Amino acid sequence: MREGWRWFGPNDPVNLDDIRQAGATEIVTSLHHIKPGELWSTEEIQSRKSQIEDTPDGRSDLHWTVVESVHPHDAIKQGLPEREHYTEVWIETMRNLASAGIDTICYNFMPAIYWTRTDLNYLLPSGARSLRYDNATFAAFDIFILERKNARNSYDEPTLQRAENIFENLSEVEREQVATILTAGLPGSPGGSANLELFRKKLAEFNVFDKAAYRENLKWFLERVLPIAEELGVKLGIHPDDPPRPLLGLPRIVSTPEDLDWIFNAVPSPSNGLTLCVGTFGVRADNNLPDMARQFGEKVFFAHLRSTSRDEDDPESFIEAGHIDGDIDMVAVIRALLDAEKDGRNIVFRPDHGHRMLDDLDADVTPGYSAIGRLRGLAEIRGVLKCFDWVSSQAPQ
């Protein structure tokens, strides 16, 4: 397995020399300044590639290996007539990436919002900070701030009672903070209560679909892009829904092994694969991650190795745990991925959603992407890999 690191470009507080010091060699990045549906030109791609790969004298080499993400335009997800145009643009972007030697693309098909957390700076007993999703806080936002129609039907009675209590005890400033955090996953929105109407509009555009209809929109897209991906030698790894269950009445189609079976069988292709985000899938207690890594190992083109811990009193709430802690048997997952590499592949992985800790507590950091927390996570995963290397070296020849 090859050690990767997500880099958000020249404005990332974690710079390329920081990544070199961490020991990672494979850069996972995107052209974040280009909006979904716009073409990534060869000039823009080459400019970013040169920033990464033109190594200063005396420095270690880095390689732009994985794109995370080239987002399909909403017209594709919604099955609108314009999807033909935006799919052609997406394919042209893929061609341009392939011509630059970048052959792995992580993408998602999440409706309206890309990820959801209720707290970006949750205090842990250690004094470090973590990302957190609290189901009752989310319900308070959904019912009392967003005021989504029939939102109450999405929650059980204990959650509704907790949500009402949480909302009543939030100040106006705190309500604004919750709105800002929970609309941050909406592409193009700065978040906050001032953007709630935009948020409502986007939800309404997707709420016309059930799961079956939304699956068909993904199938339509894959039927058009995968033959070209095969010609180019490009691998597409879909990212799971985050969190992997229905939210806000929206369809979720990448949450379980059954979902993955459907995706791979609906459009069979050697380029149709998975970004195994261990922490995301692990939020569901019914997802057995070692089994999933074994079952879909040949389809794993890229991996996010992190862990999550579900609350004992509310299993729909969770925190981002340490990379080899939490509810997931990370050692077993890594062993399954190493077994999947026996076909000669080297899967790129990256540490993900590290804790904010030590000097990063007072630093400007991207939530979930502090340098020191991810460095700790990478070191822990590297230790697991080294143990497997040692065991392998002791086996009879």
Catalytic residues: 239, 277, 304, 352-353, 369
Tokens matching residue 148: 């989504």
Helix (H, G, I), strand (E, B) or coil at 119: strand
Q: If we measure between CA atoms, which residue out of 82, 5, 4, 81 comes closest to residue 36?
A: 82
Question: What is the residue type of 210?
Answer: D
Question: Coil, strand, or helix at residue 36?
Answer: coil
145 contacts: CB under 8 Å, gap ≥ 6 = 167, 175, 178, 179, 193, 196
Q: What does the alpha-carbon distance between residue 322 and residue 65 come to, in Å, rounded to a whole number? A: 25
The tokens describing 38, both together, are: 């716009």
Phi, psi of 278 (to 5 degrees): -60, -45
Contact 69, 30 (CB under 8 A): yes
Question: d(Cα 392, Cα 397) in Å, to the nearest integer?
Answer: 10
CB burial string 323-338: b at 16+ within 10 A, e below: bbebbbbbeebbbbbb
For the four alpha carbons of 368, 333, 242 and 132, in that order, the dihedral sign comes to negative
DSSP one-letter code for 356: B
Q: What is the rounded radius of gyration, in angstroms, for the C-alpha atoms of the chain?
A: 21
DSSP 75-105: HHHHT-TTHHHHHHHHHHHHHHHHHTT--EE
| Cβ neighbour number for residue 274 with a 10 Å cutoff | 27
Strand, helix or coil for residue 328: coil
Distances (CA, A) of 245 to 19, 155, 242, 253: 33, 13, 8, 9
